[in-house]
Amino acid sequence: MKISLITACYNSAGTIRTAMDSVLEQKCVDVEYIVVDGGSTDGTVDMIKKFEVRSLERSGGEVGNTFEFKWLSEKDRGMYDAINKGIKMSTGDVVGILNADDVLAADDTLAKIVSAFNPSKRTTLNSQLSTDNSSAPPLLRSSAVDCVYADIRFVREGRTVDEVRSAKTVRYCSAKCFRPWMFRFAVMVPHPSFYCRRELFAKFGAYSLDYRICADFELVMRYMWKHRIRSRYLNEDVVVMRMGGASTSGVRSNIVINREDLKALKANGCWSAMWLIYFKYLFKIWGFVFVRRNRS
Protein backbone atom coordinates (compact mmCIF):
# COMPACT_ATOMS: atom_id res chain seq x y z
CA MET A 1 0.00 0.00 0.00
CA LYS A 2 1.30 3.42 -0.99
CA ILE A 3 0.50 6.59 0.95
CA SER A 4 0.21 9.93 -0.83
CA LEU A 5 0.96 12.70 1.64
CA ILE A 6 0.14 16.28 0.65
CA THR A 7 1.56 19.53 2.06
CA ALA A 8 -0.01 22.80 0.95
CA CYS A 9 2.15 25.82 1.69
CA TYR A 10 2.56 29.55 1.12
CA ASN A 11 5.51 31.57 2.43
CA SER A 12 6.39 28.77 4.84
CA ALA A 13 10.18 29.02 4.74
CA GLY A 14 10.37 29.13 8.53
CA THR A 15 8.75 25.75 9.10
CA ILE A 16 8.39 23.65 5.96
CA ARG A 17 11.80 22.02 6.19
CA THR A 18 10.85 20.21 9.39
CA ALA A 19 7.65 18.97 7.78
CA MET A 20 9.51 17.68 4.73
CA ASP A 21 12.29 16.12 6.79
CA SER A 22 9.78 14.22 8.93
CA VAL A 23 8.32 12.68 5.77
CA LEU A 24 11.67 11.85 4.20
CA GLU A 25 12.75 9.81 7.22
CA GLN A 26 9.71 7.51 7.18
CA LYS A 27 10.64 3.82 7.24
CA CYS A 28 9.10 0.60 5.92
CA VAL A 29 6.47 2.32 3.79
CA ASP A 30 5.91 3.41 0.19
CA VAL A 31 5.47 7.19 0.18
CA GLU A 32 4.43 9.63 -2.51
CA TYR A 33 5.05 13.09 -1.10
CA ILE A 34 3.42 16.06 -2.85
CA VAL A 35 4.12 19.70 -1.98
CA VAL A 36 1.78 22.30 -3.50
CA ASP A 37 3.06 25.86 -3.10
CA GLY A 38 0.87 28.89 -3.69
CA GLY A 39 3.56 31.02 -5.32
CA SER A 40 5.72 31.83 -2.30
CA THR A 41 8.14 34.76 -2.34
CA ASP A 42 10.05 34.12 0.90
CA GLY A 43 12.44 31.36 -0.14
CA THR A 44 10.03 28.45 0.30
CA VAL A 45 10.43 27.36 -3.32
CA ASP A 46 14.22 27.29 -2.99
CA MET A 47 13.85 25.01 0.04
CA ILE A 48 11.52 22.72 -1.91
CA LYS A 49 14.05 22.50 -4.74
CA LYS A 50 16.83 21.58 -2.32
CA PHE A 51 14.57 18.96 -0.75
CA GLU A 52 13.88 17.51 -4.18
CA VAL A 53 17.59 16.85 -4.62
CA ARG A 54 17.82 15.19 -1.22
CA SER A 55 14.73 13.11 -1.90
CA LEU A 56 16.43 11.41 -4.84
CA GLU A 57 18.51 9.46 -2.33
CA ARG A 58 15.30 7.85 -1.05
CA SER A 59 13.72 7.22 -4.46
CA GLY A 60 13.51 3.69 -5.79
CA GLY A 61 14.25 1.01 -3.25
CA GLU A 62 12.31 -2.14 -2.57
CA VAL A 63 8.54 -2.36 -2.31
CA GLY A 64 7.54 -1.21 1.14
CA ASN A 65 10.26 1.42 1.36
CA THR A 66 10.05 3.67 -1.71
CA PHE A 67 9.88 7.46 -1.87
CA GLU A 68 8.51 9.64 -4.67
CA PHE A 69 8.49 13.42 -4.56
CA LYS A 70 6.35 15.79 -6.63
CA TRP A 71 5.79 19.50 -6.31
CA LEU A 72 4.40 22.55 -8.06
CA SER A 73 4.31 26.27 -7.35
CA GLU A 74 1.56 28.48 -8.74
CA LYS A 75 -1.16 30.83 -7.55
CA ASP A 76 -4.17 29.17 -6.00
CA ARG A 77 -7.45 30.04 -4.29
CA GLY A 78 -6.21 29.10 -0.83
CA MET A 79 -5.13 26.07 1.17
CA TYR A 80 -8.01 23.79 0.21
CA ASP A 81 -7.61 24.57 -3.48
CA ALA A 82 -3.94 23.62 -3.12
CA ILE A 83 -4.84 20.38 -1.35
CA ASN A 84 -7.30 19.51 -4.12
CA LYS A 85 -4.52 20.03 -6.65
CA GLY A 86 -2.36 17.64 -4.66
CA ILE A 87 -5.15 15.05 -4.61
CA LYS A 88 -5.39 15.23 -8.41
CA MET A 89 -1.62 14.66 -8.63
CA SER A 90 -1.69 11.71 -6.22
CA THR A 91 -1.49 8.06 -7.22
CA GLY A 92 -1.36 6.35 -3.82
CA ASP A 93 -3.91 4.00 -2.30
CA VAL A 94 -4.36 6.29 0.71
CA VAL A 95 -4.18 10.08 1.00
CA GLY A 96 -3.24 12.16 4.04
CA ILE A 97 -2.48 15.83 4.74
CA LEU A 98 0.54 17.27 6.56
CA ASN A 99 0.51 21.00 7.25
CA ALA A 100 3.67 22.95 6.49
CA ASP A 101 4.27 23.79 10.16
CA ASP A 102 3.64 20.27 11.50
CA VAL A 103 5.75 17.11 11.67
CA LEU A 104 4.98 13.42 11.67
CA ALA A 105 5.27 12.17 15.24
CA ALA A 106 7.83 9.40 14.59
CA ASP A 107 9.80 7.80 11.77
CA ASP A 108 7.39 4.84 11.67
CA THR A 109 4.15 6.86 11.77
CA LEU A 110 3.11 6.16 8.18
CA ALA A 111 3.98 2.47 8.54
CA LYS A 112 1.59 2.27 11.50
CA ILE A 113 -1.14 3.95 9.49
CA VAL A 114 -0.66 1.46 6.65
CA SER A 115 -0.93 -1.38 9.17
CA ALA A 116 -4.22 0.07 10.39
CA PHE A 117 -5.59 -0.11 6.85
CA ASN A 118 -4.48 -3.74 6.52
CA PRO A 119 -6.04 -5.85 9.29
CA SER A 120 -4.23 -8.99 8.11
CA LYS A 121 -0.91 -7.28 8.87
CA ARG A 122 -1.84 -6.03 12.36
CA THR A 123 0.37 -8.49 14.19
CA THR A 124 1.80 -5.90 16.58
CA LEU A 125 -1.00 -3.35 16.55
CA ASN A 126 -4.03 -5.34 17.73
CA SER A 127 -4.13 -3.61 21.09
CA GLN A 128 -3.85 -0.17 19.50
CA LEU A 129 -6.67 -0.46 16.97
CA SER A 130 -10.40 -0.24 17.39
CA THR A 131 -13.14 -0.16 14.76
CA ASP A 132 -16.11 2.15 15.02
CA ASN A 133 -18.83 -0.16 13.71
CA SER A 134 -21.46 2.54 14.05
CA SER A 135 -19.97 4.26 11.00
CA ALA A 136 -19.79 1.16 8.79
CA PRO A 137 -20.92 2.15 5.27
CA PRO A 138 -23.17 0.25 2.91
CA LEU A 139 -20.42 0.08 0.28
CA LEU A 140 -17.85 -1.80 2.38
CA ARG A 141 -18.72 -4.78 4.59
CA SER A 142 -15.38 -6.54 4.68
CA SER A 143 -12.64 -6.18 7.29
CA ALA A 144 -11.12 -3.38 5.19
CA VAL A 145 -11.65 0.22 6.26
CA ASP A 146 -12.06 3.44 4.29
CA CYS A 147 -10.28 5.76 6.68
CA VAL A 148 -7.99 5.75 9.70
CA TYR A 149 -7.77 8.51 12.27
CA ALA A 150 -5.66 8.99 15.39
CA ASP A 151 -4.43 11.59 17.92
CA ILE A 152 -2.38 14.75 17.58
CA ARG A 153 -0.55 16.95 20.03
CA PHE A 154 0.35 20.63 20.09
CA VAL A 155 3.64 22.31 21.00
CA ARG A 156 4.91 25.89 20.89
CA GLU A 157 8.48 25.56 19.67
CA GLY A 158 11.09 23.58 17.80
CA ARG A 159 13.48 24.37 14.95
CA THR A 160 14.29 20.79 13.95
CA VAL A 161 12.21 17.64 13.70
CA ASP A 162 13.70 16.28 16.93
CA GLU A 163 13.13 19.56 18.77
CA VAL A 164 9.49 19.71 17.70
CA ARG A 165 8.87 16.10 18.72
CA SER A 166 10.54 16.53 22.11
CA ALA A 167 8.95 19.90 22.90
CA LYS A 168 6.56 20.14 25.84
CA THR A 169 3.00 19.18 24.96
CA VAL A 170 0.63 22.09 25.65
CA ARG A 171 -2.48 20.40 24.31
CA TYR A 172 -3.34 16.82 23.40
CA CYS A 173 -6.23 16.07 21.08
CA SER A 174 -7.38 12.46 21.37
CA ALA A 175 -9.95 10.85 19.06
CA LYS A 176 -10.29 7.74 21.20
CA CYS A 177 -13.78 8.58 22.40
CA PHE A 178 -15.02 10.08 19.14
CA ARG A 179 -18.40 8.93 17.86
CA PRO A 180 -20.27 10.19 14.76
CA TRP A 181 -23.03 11.79 16.88
CA MET A 182 -20.43 14.31 18.03
CA PHE A 183 -20.51 15.98 14.62
CA ARG A 184 -23.74 17.62 15.77
CA PHE A 185 -21.62 19.59 18.25
CA ALA A 186 -19.05 20.39 15.52
CA VAL A 187 -16.62 17.91 17.10
CA MET A 188 -14.57 15.92 14.62
CA VAL A 189 -11.57 13.63 14.50
CA PRO A 190 -8.27 15.59 14.28
CA HIS A 191 -7.98 16.39 10.59
CA PRO A 192 -4.16 16.07 10.44
CA SER A 193 -4.60 12.48 11.63
CA PHE A 194 -7.24 11.63 9.00
CA TYR A 195 -6.13 9.29 6.20
CA CYS A 196 -8.60 7.94 3.65
CA ARG A 197 -8.61 5.83 0.52
CA ARG A 198 -7.98 7.94 -2.58
CA GLU A 199 -11.02 6.52 -4.36
CA LEU A 200 -13.30 8.34 -1.91
CA PHE A 201 -12.45 11.71 -3.45
CA ALA A 202 -13.82 10.51 -6.79
CA LYS A 203 -16.93 9.02 -5.18
CA PHE A 204 -17.83 11.75 -2.70
CA GLY A 205 -15.92 14.84 -3.81
CA ALA A 206 -12.84 16.71 -2.59
CA TYR A 207 -12.53 19.74 -0.30
CA SER A 208 -15.21 22.39 -0.85
CA LEU A 209 -13.93 25.87 -1.65
CA ASP A 210 -17.08 27.37 -0.13
CA TYR A 211 -15.37 27.31 3.28
CA ARG A 212 -12.49 29.56 4.33
CA ILE A 213 -11.36 27.58 7.39
CA CYS A 214 -13.66 24.59 7.86
CA ALA A 215 -13.52 22.69 4.58
CA ASP A 216 -11.72 19.95 6.49
CA PHE A 217 -14.63 19.61 8.96
CA GLU A 218 -17.11 19.57 6.09
CA LEU A 219 -15.23 16.86 4.18
CA VAL A 220 -14.68 14.59 7.18
CA MET A 221 -18.31 14.94 8.23
CA ARG A 222 -19.52 14.38 4.66
CA TYR A 223 -17.55 11.13 4.49
CA MET A 224 -18.16 9.81 7.99
CA TRP A 225 -21.68 11.13 8.69
CA LYS A 226 -23.42 11.44 5.33
CA HIS A 227 -21.76 8.54 3.49
CA ARG A 228 -21.04 6.40 6.57
CA ILE A 229 -17.59 5.27 5.49
CA ARG A 230 -15.99 2.61 7.66
CA SER A 231 -13.34 3.96 9.99
CA ARG A 232 -10.68 2.71 12.37
CA TYR A 233 -9.03 4.52 15.27
CA LEU A 234 -5.27 4.18 15.77
CA ASN A 235 -4.27 4.78 19.38
CA GLU A 236 -1.19 6.88 18.58
CA ASP A 237 -0.30 10.54 18.31
CA VAL A 238 0.67 10.73 14.65
CA VAL A 239 1.26 14.46 14.17
CA VAL A 240 2.92 17.15 16.26
CA MET A 241 1.48 20.59 15.52
CA ARG A 242 2.88 24.00 16.30
CA MET A 243 0.30 26.31 17.88
CA GLY A 244 -0.87 29.30 15.87
CA GLY A 245 -2.59 27.89 12.78
CA ALA A 246 -5.81 29.23 11.25
CA SER A 247 -7.93 27.08 13.54
CA THR A 248 -6.06 27.97 16.76
CA SER A 249 -5.49 31.71 16.37
CA GLY A 250 -7.95 33.78 18.32
CA VAL A 251 -11.56 34.79 18.91
CA ARG A 252 -12.24 36.12 15.42
CA SER A 253 -11.21 32.91 13.71
CA ASN A 254 -13.36 30.94 16.14
CA ILE A 255 -16.41 33.01 15.22
CA VAL A 256 -15.79 32.23 11.56
CA ILE A 257 -15.20 28.56 12.38
CA ASN A 258 -18.48 28.25 14.28
CA ARG A 259 -20.46 29.85 11.48
CA GLU A 260 -18.84 27.62 8.89
CA ASP A 261 -19.37 24.55 11.07
CA LEU A 262 -23.10 25.26 11.20
CA LYS A 263 -23.18 25.81 7.44
CA ALA A 264 -21.43 22.47 6.87
CA LEU A 265 -23.78 20.64 9.21
CA LYS A 266 -26.85 21.98 7.42
CA ALA A 267 -25.35 21.21 3.99
CA ASN A 268 -24.91 17.56 4.93
CA GLY A 269 -28.26 16.99 6.60
CA CYS A 270 -27.04 16.97 10.20
CA TRP A 271 -29.33 19.12 12.34
CA SER A 272 -27.61 21.41 14.80
CA ALA A 273 -27.78 24.93 16.19
CA MET A 274 -25.23 27.54 17.20
CA TRP A 275 -25.86 26.95 20.91
CA LEU A 276 -25.05 23.26 20.41
CA ILE A 277 -21.86 24.07 18.57
CA TYR A 278 -20.54 26.07 21.51
CA PHE A 279 -20.67 22.91 23.60
CA LYS A 280 -17.66 21.65 21.62
CA TYR A 281 -15.40 23.74 23.85
CA LEU A 282 -16.27 21.42 26.73
CA PHE A 283 -14.84 18.55 24.67
CA LYS A 284 -11.71 20.56 23.98
CA ILE A 285 -11.06 21.17 27.67
CA TRP A 286 -9.83 17.59 27.89
CA GLY A 287 -7.03 18.52 25.54
CA PHE A 288 -5.79 21.19 27.96
CA VAL A 289 -6.45 19.63 31.36
CA PHE A 290 -5.39 16.07 30.66
CA VAL A 291 -2.18 16.79 28.81
CA ARG A 292 -0.28 13.62 28.02
CA ARG A 293 3.44 13.38 28.35
CA ASN A 294 5.48 13.15 25.19
CA ARG A 295 5.88 9.60 23.97
CA SER A 296 9.37 8.32 23.45
Sign of the alpha-carbon dihedral angle for 64, 69, 75, 79:
positive
Higher pLDDT, 296 or 39: 39
pLDDT reading at 32 higher than 90: yes
Q: Does residue 160 belong to any structural domain of this protein?
A: yes
Q: Which of 58-62, 87-91, 158-162 has the lowest mean pLDDT?
A: 58-62
CA distances (Å), 252 to each of 217, 229, 245, 248, 258, in order?
Answer: 18, 33, 13, 10, 10
Point out which residues pair with 72 in neighbouring strands.
36
Q: How many residues does the chain have?
A: 296
Q: Does residue 44 belong to any structural domain of this protein?
A: yes
Higher pLDDT, 274 or 291: 274
CATH code of the domain containing 134: 3.90.550.10
Q: How confident is the model at residue 243 (pLDDT cuts 50, 70, 90)?
A: confident
pLDDT in tens, 115-151: 999 866 543 343 345 545 444 333 333 458 999 999 9
Q: Which helix (H) or strand (E) holds 281?
A: helix 280-289
pLDDT at 291: 47
Q: Which helix (H) or strand (E) holds 267?
A: helix 251-267
Do the beta carbons of residue 279 and residue 185 sit within 8 Å? Answer: yes
Do the beta carbons of residue 30 and residue 59 sit within 8 Å? Answer: no
What's the mean per-residue pLDDT of the chain? 86
Q: Does residue 80 belong to any structural domain of this protein?
A: yes
Q: Does residue 296 belong to any structural domain of this protein?
A: no
Number of helical (H) and strand (E) elements in the chain, helices listed first: 10, 10
Provide mean pLDDT across the span 100-104. 97
CA distance 31 to 89: 14
Q: Does residue 153 belong to any structural domain of this protein?
A: yes
Cα within 13 Å of Cα(18), Cβ side: 24
Domain extent for 27: 2-289
pLDDT at 251: 66
pLDDT at 277: 87
Q: Does residue 266 belong to any structural domain of this protein?
A: yes
Point out which residues pair with 104 in neighbouring strands.
239
Q: Does residue 294 belong to any structural domain of this protein?
A: no
Do the beta carbons of residue 95 and residue 4 sit within 8 Å? Answer: yes
Q: How confident is the model at residue 284 (pLDDT cuts 50, 70, 90)?
A: low
Q: Does residue 215 belong to any structural domain of this protein?
A: yes
pLDDT reading at 154 higher than 80: yes
Task: Print the SS3 string covering 136-202.
Answer: CCCCCCCCCCCEEEEEEEEECCCCCHHHHHHCCCCEEECCCCCCHHHHHHCCCCCHHHCEEECHHHH
User: pLDDT exceeding 70 applies to what percent of the chain?
Assistant: 84
Number of domains in the chain: 1
pLDDT reading at 167 higher than 80: yes
Q: What is the pTM of this model?
A: 0.87
pLDDT in tens, 201-240: 999 999 999 999 999 999 999 999 999 999 999 999 999 9
pLDDT reading at 63 higher than 70: yes
pLDDT at 124: 39
Provide mean pLDDT across the span 8-24. 96
227-254: b (≥16 Cβ within 10 Å) or e: bbbbbbbbbbbbbbbbeebeeeeeeeee
CA distance 53 to 69: 10
pLDDT at 144: 82
